[in-house]
């Protein structure tokens, strides 16, 4: 069946919440991006993100990437290069390639990763998505590397203090683009509760899921995941000794996917893992705070 470009009622209804939670001052650009990506089967437009560190220095409550539960772990540059190479065979032009985590600026070899990403995606907008805490502490080498590889710094905002003046000066000095996204309001968090029994209807979960639109398509260990939740669930499983199980149908293996069309087809369908998501109970406007690492933050 020919795909139709859709602006669904559920998408329109959620836009005010999404703006509050994720969106930058560039509101029109962000809304357009949401429409293009949620219709990716037609537009062919989608971003891809990757954890370059598992852990984080902010440890927010109910982190949807489970980074506050993660051990200190860094992506190996050789593994990153292998994944970039495989993905670039499917498409070497993404809407955006996002290096994140966890907190990506904790990675001691972030400049090496920047150069690898640029090598395989020469014309893709590449960004480091950071909470910004470490930005003013980084050496000159970092900024020069970002400038030379055309890496944008995207600061995901939280209700914390950042030296925005100094960050602006650094961006200007080294000609690195800085962009802020999300709100600094305390009620800027989202919670999508998990169903530990896996008893949800996958089609319904997917239909009601803000992550199914394609804003957090994730590359991990040679696989493409529809969303960050399925991609990083092993961090949750490990910390809480759970078994929210992934099957071979929960990701697209880059060794098996034929082309971009097949990948887009895959990304537009529910995955078995959707049975663990109580998406109809997604709560917006949750208060930000530091995680106590209690399972109730996610269920």
Q: Which residues bind ligand SF4 (CB under 6 A)?
A: 56, 58-60, 63, 65, 67-68, 101-103, 131, 205-206, 209, 211-212, 226-227, 229-230, 271, 273-274, 277, 279
CB of 144 to ligand SF4, least distance (A): 26
The answer to whether the CB of 17 falls within 8 A of the CB of 286 is: no
Cβ-based nearer residue to ligand SF4, 170 or 230:
230
Cβ-based nearer residue to ligand SF4, 106 or 257:
106
CB of 106 to ligand SF4, least distance (A): 10
The answer to whether the CB of 103 falls within 8 A of the CB of 132 is: no
Cβ-based nearer residue to ligand SF4, 171 or 214:
214
How far does the chain reach from its first CA to its final CA, in angstroms? Answer: 37
Backbone angles phi, psi at 104, to 5 degrees: -65, -25
CB of 170 to ligand SF4, least distance (A): 20
Cβ-based nearer residue to ligand SF4, 34 or 229:
229
Distances (CA, A) of 277 to 218, 223, 266: 17, 21, 19
CB of 123 to ligand SF4, least distance (A): 28
The answer to whether the CB of 136 falls within 8 A of the CB of 113 is: no
Task: Please state, in angstroms and rounded to a whole number, the distance separating the CA atoms of residues 92 and 84.
Answer: 9
Task: Please state, in angstroms and rounded to a whole number, the distance separating the CA atoms of residues 95 and 168.
Answer: 25
Backbone angles phi, psi at 297, to 5 degrees: -70, -20
CB of 122 to ligand SF4, least distance (A): 28
CB of 63 to ligand SF4, least distance (A): 3
Task: Please state, in angstroms and rounded to a whole number, the distance separating the CA atoms of residues 298 and 136.
Answer: 32
CB of 108 to ligand SF4, least distance (A): 18
CB of 130 to ligand SF4, least distance (A): 8
Cβ-based nearer residue to ligand SF4, 75 or 277:
277
Cβ-based nearer residue to ligand SF4, 93 or 280:
280
Task: Please state, in angstroms and rounded to a whole number, the distance separating the CA atoms of residues 75 and 52.
Answer: 5
Task: Please state, in angstroms and rounded to a whole number, the distance separating the CA atoms of residues 153 and 156.
Answer: 10
Task: Please state, in angstroms and rounded to a whole number, the distance separating the CA atoms of residues 253 and 192.
Answer: 26
Cβ-based nearer residue to ligand SF4, 169 or 187:
187
Distances (CA, A) of 189 to 154, 159, 165: 18, 10, 25
Tokens of 129: 């998505």
Cβ-based nearer residue to ligand SF4, 97 or 273:
273
**Quick one: which of 85, 87, 99, 96 has its CA closest to 34?**
96
């Amino acid at each position: 069946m020919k795909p139709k470009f859709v602006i669904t009622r559920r998408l329109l209804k959620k836009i005010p919440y999404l703006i509050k939670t994720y969106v930058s001052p560039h509101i029109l650009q962000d809304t357009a991006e949401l429409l293009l990506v949620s219709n990716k089967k037609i537009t062919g437009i989608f971003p891809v993100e990757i954890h370059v560190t598992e852990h984080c220095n902010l440890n927010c409550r109910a982190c949807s990437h489970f980074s506050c539960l993660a051990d200190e772990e860094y992506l190996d540059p050789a593994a990153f290069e292998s994944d970039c190479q495989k993905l670039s065979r499917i498409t070497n032009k993404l809407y955006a390639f996002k290096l994140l985590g966890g907190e990506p600026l904790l990675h001691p070899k972030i400049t090496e990763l920047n150069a690898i990403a640029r090598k395989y995606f020469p014309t893709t907008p590449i960004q480091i998505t950071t909470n910004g805490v470490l930005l003013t502490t980084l050496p000159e080498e970092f900024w020069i590397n970002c400038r030379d590889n055309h890496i944008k710094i995207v600061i995901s905002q939280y209700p914390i203090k950042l030296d925005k003046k100094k960050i602006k000066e650094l961006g200007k000095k080294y000609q690195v683009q800085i962009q802020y996204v999300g709100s600094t309001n305390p009620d800027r968090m989202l919670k999508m509760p998990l169903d530990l029994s896996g008893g949800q209807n996958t089609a319904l979960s997917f239909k009601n899921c803000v992550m199914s639109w394609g804003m957090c398509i994730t590359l991990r260990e040679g696989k493409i995941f529809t969303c960050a939740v399925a991609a990083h669930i092993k961090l949750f499983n490990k910390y809480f000794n759970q078994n929210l199980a992934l099957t071979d149908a929960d990701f697209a293996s880059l060794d098996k996917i034929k082309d971009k069309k097949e990948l887009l087809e895959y990304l537009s369908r529910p995955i078995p893992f959707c049975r663990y998501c109580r998406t109809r109970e997604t709560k917006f406007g949750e208060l930000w705070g530091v995680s106590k690492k209690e399972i109730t933050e996610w269920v």
